[in-house]
Structure 1
Amino acid sequence: MDKSFKLSLLISSFIIVMANNADALVPALYVFGDSGVDAGNNNFLKTPAKADKWPYGIDLNNNTRGRFTNGKNAADFIAMLLNLPMPPPYLSLSEVERSRLITGINYGSGSCGILNTTRAGECLSLGKQIEYFTSTATTDLPKAIKRPPKLRRHLAKSMYLVLIGSNDYNNMVNNGVRNKFTPQDFAQYLVEEMTNHIKKLYDVGARKFLVSTFASCEPKTYVPESCESNYYTEKLVDRLQELQANLFGSLFTIYDGRKLFARIHENPKQFGITYLDVPCCEDASIVCANRSEHTTFDKLGHPTEAIYKIVALDCFYGSTCLPLSLSQLANAPSFLPLGN
């Protein structure tokens, strides 16, 4: 492993370990997405898309199931970098717990997407996730944050991760919707749907957003022009710029991991990686011992904890998230709704 990168990992590990002893950079982290951020919501749903059995979670107390990886996912690392607890899955919380929790919740659900029709069995579509968040903001949080001005400040200063969309390009779970459009028209359709979802979050009080793009091509290629989803990326970037100009006080930054993953594939040793796109766990009864040296954990292509950590750190301090790093987004001034 490159010495400078090893040092940066040691430093970042120290920062993460110290997170619980520092003041949070934002009041809360609210997470929306698919299996890349699901922390266990699918455990409570009738779906084949589950991560509720060993070896999932083997490096997270070896007893915490529900994440589609061996340990923490990107949302977990981002929470820790913000000096917040890892947001628990919404469906795991009782009504009493929901009414007391003010540091964030994870609504992510594996196999779901931007479209309500994208799913494998039961899962929480982005629309359903936002419906649950709306209940959090209008019913649960007011029980813990009783003064309306303080609640509005809480919502405006919190961070919202919207990391979803790859399943809408997955022919196994999009139920044929993608095939009804040209690539350009499908991308436009997804962007319109995403716009509607973001506006709903904004109307409830959200202001600071991280929204993801994605690549639908195989991980080992990462050639931008070979991915249909680049149409979506281009249209999404333009639309988020429009939204920021028109939605007072909103701030958007975009996660685009294509360049980072290209760097990992060009020089894996720099990142401590030995096995590119070789699943650590191809058989449910066997798991590799050197998990941090793999990019991929399972045969479905879900990343290892090591990759999620690299992504989170580069998004927080580097250039994977633009135009603002997550650190900059967290520290940016928050503007309350007009009249407050």
Structure 2
Amino acid sequence: MILLVFLLVMASSSWYEVAAADPQVPCFFIFGDSLNDCGNNNHINTKAKANYKPYGIDFPDGATGRFTNGRTTVDFLAEHLGFDNPIPPFTTAKGEKILQGINYASGSAGILDETGKHLGHNVALGTQVQNHQITLSRIVARKGDNETAAEHLNACVYYMAIGSNDYLNNYFLPDHYKTSNEFSVEEFATHLVSTYGDRIRTLYGYGARKIAVVGVGKIGCVPRTMDLFGTNGTKCIQNVNLAAQYFNKQLKKLVVDLNKELKDAKLIYINSSKLSYDDAIRFSFFRFQVHNERMLQSERRWTVCEGQSALFEQKRVCVLGFFPSDGGQSQDFR
């Protein structure tokens, strides 16, 4: 992931002139799901919340709504970009803080509006983009005019990591959603990527020029997914991973096409299936010695690990059945 920062920041020397102590970019905007949610779900009616222990046991502010014991991938990215603090959630960001970026990510959210709604409300990608329009109007008010605001936004990094829930909390849940009856796996990938492309074009219209688009990881190897759907003795659920591959292939092509279509835009596709946390989630129980921890179902029907804070070593990779820990995600920066 350090490579991602290098590619985005160094792609153009004219992006943003910085002093030694300043962030490498003026602002960092984040769109996504539970892997990067930092509190947007705290006050909405949903089972997909993380503002209670053991979430946040290794985070300075405790359980903030991050679906991990500590920091998320974008928290590490913000640090490497030079920001003093994590990017705040849309629900609480105020004042001058909005000029450095907003985190719009929402647990259980997907590219499609209906994704994850069996768990309650969430902020789907389309609504996240609408929320960015609200932020845009506030930035214009602070900058004084549209042109100055546009110059500011053109230099920002936009990070988009979403799509897993459209499979795990939509397509592969036929008791709740009709999509698997309406689309083949290939057709569903096309539908998702087409919708995704429309959202990116809207962001471009709002001033986004430097956009990182993250593919879906090996979701068929996530422990909780394997528990829900069963593996029939295999190491992972191959049809789920295959669906993710179809999606990623089309998403990568979308990035290529949008780089040609959108003037002055620089989009980068990030292959998340090669990031360490995917394999780390899968093998966490075997790689590291685990003491006095057990997997259980919480009242909110989300899988968590039970144990004392001192037992979660920095190298520990699994805190939750779906989500990588602080230690697991930090491996992407080594």
Is residue 125–residue 199 contact of structure 2 (8 Å, CA) maintained in 1?
A: yes
Partner of 1:58: 57
Partner of 1:125: 124
Partner of 1:328: none
Q: Where does the alignment leave 5 or more consecutive residues of structure 1 unmatched?
A: 1-7, 9-19, 315-340
Is residue 209–residue 253 contact of structure 1 (8 Å, CA) maintained in 2?
A: yes
Query: Matched residues, percent identical?
Result: 28
Partner of 1:327: none
Is residue 75–residue 86 contact of structure 2 (8 Å, CA) maintained in 1?
A: yes
Assess, with a 3 A threshold, how the Cα gap between structure 1 residues 280 and 80 changes in structure 2: closer, same or farther. Answer: farther
Assess, with a 3 A threshold, how the Cα gap between structure 1 residues 213 and 177 changes in structure 2: closer, same or farther. Answer: farther
Give the Cα–Cα distance (whole angstroms) in 2 for the partners of residues 262 and 107 of structure 1.
22
1:202-231 Cα offsets, whole Å, 9 max, x none, are 000001111111133124757988521100
Q: TM-score, normalised by structure 1?
A: 0.76
Q: Where does the alignment leave 5 or more consecutive residues of structure 2 unmatched?
A: 3-18, 224-234, 299-304
Assess, with a 3 A threshold, how the Cα gap between structure 1 residues 293 and 250 changes in structure 2: closer, same or farther. Answer: same
Residue 296 in structure 1 maps to residue 310 in structure 2? no
Partner of 2:163: 165
- Aligned to 2:212, the other structure's residue is in SS state strand
Assess, with a 3 A threshold, how the Cα gap between structure 1 residues 287 and 101 changes in structure 2: closer, same or farther. Answer: same
Give the Cα–Cα distance (whole angstroms) in 1 for the partners of residues 289 and 20 of structure 2.
35
Partner of 2:213: 211
Give the Cα–Cα distance (whole angstroms) in 2 for the partners of residues 263 and 187 of structure 1.
21
1:111-139 Cα offsets, whole Å, 9 max, x none, are 010000102211100000000001111x2
**Displacement after TM superposition at 1:263 (Å):** 9.1
Task: Give the aligned CA root-mean-square deviation in angstroms.
Answer: 3.2
Assess, with a 3 A threshold, how the Cα gap between structure 1 residues 258 and 187 changes in structure 2: closer, same or farther. Answer: same
**Displacement after TM superposition at 1:62 (Å):** 5.1
Give the Cα–Cα distance (whole angstroms) in 2 for the partners of residues 164 and 223 of structure 1.
20
1:259-318 Cα offsets, whole Å, 9 max, x none, are 2349956xx89xxx5269x9876476832513433322123x21101122223x26xxxx
Assess, with a 3 A threshold, how the Cα gap between structure 1 residues 282 and 295 changes in structure 2: closer, same or farther. Answer: farther
Partner of 2:183: 181
Residue 274 in structure 1 maps to residue 288 in structure 2? yes
Give the Cα–Cα distance (whole angstroms) in 2 for the partners of residues 172 and 203 of structure 1.
29
Q: TM-score, normalised by structure 2?
A: 0.77
Is residue 293–residue 307 contact of structure 2 (8 Å, CA) maintained in 1?
A: no
Give the Cα–Cα distance (whole angstroms) in 2 for the partners of residues 123 and 141 of structure 1.
25
**Displacement after TM superposition at 1:64 (Å):** 4.1
Partner of 1:155: 153
218-227 vs 65-74, greater mean Cα deviation: 218-227
- Aligned to 2:140, the other structure's residue is in SS state helix
- Aligned to 1:254, the other structure's residue is in SS state strand
**Displacement after TM superposition at 1:63 (Å):** 2.7
- Aligned to 2:314, the other structure's residue is in SS state helix
Assess, with a 3 A threshold, how the Cα gap between structure 1 residues 286 and 263 changes in structure 2: closer, same or farther. Answer: closer
Partner of 2:306: 286
Give the Cα–Cα distance (whole angstroms) in 2 for the partners of residues 102 and 262 of structure 1.
30
Is residue 168–residue 178 contact of structure 1 (8 Å, CA) maintained in 2?
A: no
Is residue 281–residue 297 contact of structure 1 (8 Å, CA) maintained in 2?
A: no
Assess, with a 3 A threshold, how the Cα gap between structure 1 residues 258 and 231 changes in structure 2: closer, same or farther. Answer: same
Is residue 42–residue 65 contact of structure 2 (8 Å, CA) maintained in 1?
A: yes
Give the Cα–Cα distance (whole angstroms) in 2 for the partners of residues 183 and 259 of structure 1.
22
What is the count of residue pairs matched by the alignment?
A: 287
Is residue 33–residue 164 contact of structure 1 (8 Å, CA) maintained in 2?
A: yes
Is residue 30–residue 161 contact of structure 1 (8 Å, CA) maintained in 2?
A: yes
Give the Cα–Cα distance (whole angstroms) in 2 for the partners of residues 280 and 243 of structure 1.
46
- Which residue identity lines up with residue 54 of structure 2 in the other structure? P
Is residue 41–residue 89 contact of structure 1 (8 Å, CA) maintained in 2?
A: yes
